[in-house]
Amino acid sequence: MNAKVLTAIVLGKAAGAIMRLFGRGSSFPGALALRICPELLGILAKDVRVAVVTGTNGKTTTCHMIAKILMDEGNRVLANEMGANMASGIASAFVFRARLNATVDADYAVIECDEASLVHVASALKPFAVVVTNVFRDQLDRYGEITTTLDIIKQGLKLIPSSLLVVNADCSLCASLGDLPNKIVYYGLSGAKEFCAKHTSAQEVSRCIKCGAPYQYEYRLFAHLGGFYCKECGYKRPEPDLEALSVKYDDKNQSIVDVTVKGSDKVIKLNLSLPGMFNIHNALAALCVAKASGIEYKNALASLSLVDASFGRMERFVLSGTEVCMVLVKNPTGADLILSFLMQNKRYKRVVFGLNDNPADGEDISWIWDASFESIYEQKDFSFSKTYVMGTRSSDMALRLKYAGADASSIHTIHETKDVASVIEDGDEPICLVLNYTSMLQTRRFLDKHYRLGGLR
Ligand SMILES: [Zn+2]
């Protein structure tokens, strides 16, 4: 092994150790290692089976599910941390698990990859499977138009024609990846009425990606997802290899989903303790990757039934006797899904909306105007007892709620993160914290310190 590779590994590891002492993020060690040895990622990933997950929503949870299934089979699994999903963060994950002989202490790597970074890491990682969860409007100022995001993903996939693609059939943008030479499996939800969201506003893709004619829909799940077809050119939702037919809830709020497998008359039962339709999509994607790894559905389903909420996506705690649910929301579709969950679930009577506009949030917060906050005030049989806003753009958030129909006097502002504690402790009604990225990081860090969250999860 050459000296450059060894230097990159040693300095990367040292930088990681120092960063951890200060509790800082994990992109820098990878960036440093790649600077010293640009080929390092390819060298370290050589003997590891890599699964990559990209797309707008659901990356972290899908990775979490895949990793859980693989670990339950006795595999050693490497994963990158949430948020560290660009080339440097991915390199960090490999460097931390690297041995000095440039091998890695893992059988599998499950890598969350930012849409724009796939093109930079695809050739080095040579994944056996790539999941594309969906493409929604997100981080506008970084990627521009929505088809640009799809094009960027496509550029990355073109570098790895032998990777299996695992693609959401319900997303008209993703499904067009069927044009690539790769082998492809699709997953999706049927048009059953429990899957079709009542309120959906972010209909950003209304025209056929192939010919520009308006899409027709047999049914709509949420946003542009659903049973789309184009009358002009015949492009339509592909038949999924795994399709969720229906969902029921048991008394513990577990979803029990009937899933059909294409080409067989078998129906498999998927039990999930994670709420929300989007988690059914995530679980189906994880099942497809499990199958591609040679794992039987029976075993993968058992693992999925035990998956709990991953960091920040939808965590639940009991803090000072009050039930707290914390959710990350960063685009209109994510917001619509959470609002529809809160309206249906009716458990969380109090809500906090946290909105920051730091660089990591994408700075452009205009997406709040595309989310259907109106649905809160149109609902007849549910309303929040208390609504709070916080963050650097709390006044924009309050304004948005007023336009949606809120009574201005019912909206309270939380001026500092530390005041969240007194809000939580003000009464014992369950409270939901709906936060964008840096707002979630700040709040979680505070709650961690204040309530020693680690021990309570
Ligand atoms: Zn068309």
pLDDT tens-place string over residues 27-72: 899 999 999 999 999 999 999 999 999 998 889 889 999 999 999 9
Give 260's contacts (C-beta < 8 A, 6+ positions apart): 242, 243, 245, 266, 267, 268
If asked whether residues 237 and 334 sit together in one domain, one would say no
Whether 312 shows a pLDDT value over 60: the answer reads no
Structure tokens at 450: 């204040």
Residue 322's pLDDT is: 87
In a domain, residue 371? The reply is yes
**pLDDT surpasses 80 at 411:** yes
Whether the pLDDT of residue 399 is over 70: the answer is yes
Question: What pLDDT does residue 48 have?
Answer: 97
Mean pLDDT of the chain: 88
Do 325 and 434 lie in one domain? The reply is yes
The rounded Å distance from CA 214 to ligand 1 centre is: 8
Spacing, Cα 173 to ligand 1 middle (Å): 12
> How many Å apart are CA 327 and CA 450, to the nearest integer?
19
pLDDT at 174: 95
Q: Do 60 and 187 belong together in one domain?
A: yes
CATH code for the domain of 414: 3.90.190.20
Report the pLDDT value the prediction gives residue 20, as an integer from 0 to 100.
Answer: 78
Least trusted range by pLDDT, from 2-16, 99-113, 225-239, 242-256: 242-256
Chain CA centroid to CA 252, Å: 24
**What residues contact 172, with CB distance under 8 A and at least 6 apart?**
205, 208, 209, 215, 224, 225, 228, 235, 237
CA of 175 relative to ligand 1 center, distance in Å: 13
Look up the domain containing 359 and give its range.
Answer: 314-455
Q: Is the pLDDT of residue 454 over 60?
A: no
Q: Which of 304, 332, 365 is the last residue of a domain?
A: 304
Residues 283 and 328 in one domain: no
Expressed in angstroms and rounded, the spacing between residue 232 Cα and the centre of ligand 1 is: 5
Both 54 and 200 in one domain: the answer is yes
Looking up residue 84, the CATH number of its domain turns out to be: 3.40.1190.10
Residue 215 Cα, ligand 1 centroid: separation in angstroms? Answer: 7
Answer yes or no: is pLDDT of 187 > 80.
yes
pLDDT of residue 343: 83
pLDDT at 252 over 80: no
Q: Any idea which of 189-203, 335-349, 428-442 has the lowest mean pLDDT?
A: 189-203
Judgement on whether residues 361 and 236 belong to the same structural domain of the protein: no
Q: Which of 2-6, 306-310, 438-442 has the lowest mean pLDDT?
A: 306-310
- At residue 216, the 3 state secondary structure works out as strand
Mean pLDDT of 73-89: 88
Per-residue pLDDT, 41: 97
Kindly state whether residue 309 falls inside one of the protein's structural domains. no
* End-of-domain residue from the set 241, 271, 304: 304
| 436 within domain boundaries | yes
Q: Which long-range contacts (CB under 8 A, 24 or more apart) does 272-276 make?
A: 272/304, 272/305, 272/307, 273/305, 273/306, 273/307, 273/308, 274/61, 274/307, 274/308, 274/309, 274/314, 275/314, 275/341, 275/345, 276/314, 276/337, 276/338, 276/341
Mean pLDDT of 174-190: 97
**pLDDT over 90 at 202, yes or no:** no
Run of H or E residues at 412: strand 411-414
| Same domain (yes/no): 270, 321 | no
Last residue of a domain, one of 261, 279, 304: 304
Burial class (CB in 10 A: 0-12, 13-18, 19+), 380: exposed
Query: Does the pLDDT at position 200 exceed 60?
Result: no
Domain identity same for 45 and 65: yes
**For 223-253, b where at least 16 C-beta lie within 10 A, e where not — what string?**
bbbbbbbbeeeebbbbebbbbbeebeeeeee
Residue 18 located in a structural domain: yes
In a domain, 239, yes or no: yes
Tell me if 377 is assigned to some domain.
yes
Tell me, in angstroms, the distance from the centre of ligand 1 to residue 433's CA. 41
Ligand 1: distance of its center to the CA of 366 in Å?
30
199 has pLDDT over 90: no
pLDDT of residue 223: 78
Can you read off the two tokens belonging to residue 269?
């039962």
Q: How far apart are the first and last CA of the chain?
A: 43
Q: What pairs with residue 108 in β-bridges?
A: 49, 77
CA of 207 to the centre of ligand 1 (A): 8
Number of domains comprising the chain: 2
pLDDT at 201: 56
CA-to-CA distance for 305 and 311, rounded, in angstroms? 17
Residue 439: pLDDT over 70: yes
> Is position 282 within any domain?
yes
What pLDDT was estimated at residue 140? 44
How are beta strands 350-354 and 322-328 bridged, if at all? unpaired
The pLDDT of residue 147 is above 90: no
How far does the centroid of ligand 1 lie from the alpha carbon of residue 189, in Å? Answer: 22
Instruction: Judge if 20 and 115 occupy the same domain.
Output: yes
Q: Determine the average pLDDT of the residues in 240-264.
A: 88
Question: Quick one: 190 and 97 in the same domain?
Answer: yes
Contact 346, 325 (CB under 8 A): no
* 275 and 367 part of one domain: no
Q: Which of 393, 331, 333, 329 is nearest to 357 (CA)?
A: 393
- List the one residue out of 135, 147, 134, 87 whose CA is nearest residue 111: 87
- Please compute Rg for the chain using Cα positions: 22
Instruction: Quote the ligand 1 centre to 235 CA distance (angstroms).
Output: 5
Q: CA-to-CA distance for 355 and 206, rounded, in angstroms?
A: 28
Q: What is the dihedral of CA 385, 333, 56, 144, to 10 degrees?
A: -120
225 CA → ligand 1 middle, Å: 16
Phi, psi torsion values for 257, nearest 5 degrees: -110, 130
According to the model, what pLDDT value does residue 142 have? 46
3-state SS assignment for residue 206: coil
Residues 190, 84 within the same domain: yes
β-pairing verdict for 225-229 and 216-222: antiparallel
43 alpha carbon – ligand 1 mean position (Å): 43
234 falls within a domain: yes
The pLDDT score that the predictor gives to residue 428 is 82
| Residue range 277-289, pLDDT digits in tens | 888 999 999 999 9
Alpha carbon separation from 285 to 241, 244, 264 (Å, rounded): 11, 11, 18
Predicted local confidence at residue 149, as pLDDT: 86
